[in-house]
Every structure is written in structure tokens, then in C-alpha cells.
Amino acid sequence: MKALRNTKEGLVIPSAWVKRWGEKVSVQRTGDLVILESSQREAARRRLARMVRKLRRASRGLGSLTPDDLAAEVEKVRRQRAGRR
């Protein structure tokens, strides 16, 4: 399998790497950054965002949580979902 290469024009990613992600791959460009994302990864990212919104909405009613407490809980959930404990 060919390796990742850096050229004058940019970064070359072997198509075999991207083909393993499935039939549908999302490509987004923001400034100098290009994001390649499989449909499964995109769905997982959206589920996490939905969970974070629900957590924030639920915490508003509690009133006892500070924004720092909430941010710590959100970061804890993100680390767990990313596999870094």
C-alpha cells in the first residue's frame, strides 16, 4: 500500500485508505483544513453533539451547577467516547 505523501501542492492520501471508510465519505474544507469523514463517524459526532445539548439543557433547570462544572462533565463524556480515560 502506498504511503501518505506531502507534496508542493498539498497532502496526498492513498485512495485505498479512504475506500475502507465506506461508500459515502464527507469532505469539508475550512480555510487551510480539509476534513474527510466517514458516514459512521459523522453520525457518531452528531449523536455526541445531541447528547451535549441535552446535558446543557437539563443542567439549566438544576441551577446548582456552575459553567465550569458543566464544562468538566462535557469534557469527561468526550474523553470517554474518544477512548481516552
Whether residue 50 sits in one domain with residue 68: yes
The number of folded domains in the chain is: 2
More confident residue, 27 or 44: 44
H helix runs in the chain, sequence order: 15-19, 39-62, 67-82
Instruction: Name the amino acid, one letter, at 13.
Output: I
What per-residue confidence (pLDDT) applies to 83?
75
Whether residue 69 sits in one domain with residue 47: yes
Domain that holds residue 27: 5-38
Under 8 Å between Cβ of 52 and 58: no
Whether residue 31 sits in one domain with residue 47: no
Q: What is the pTM of this model?
A: 0.51
Written as nine digits, the cell of 39 is: 458516514
The predicted-structure confidence for 28-63, as pLDDT tens digits, reads as follows 888 888 888 888 888 898 999 999 898 888 877 777
Written as nine digits, the cell of 53 is: 445539548
The predicted-structure confidence for 71-82, as pLDDT tens digits, reads as follows 888 888 888 888
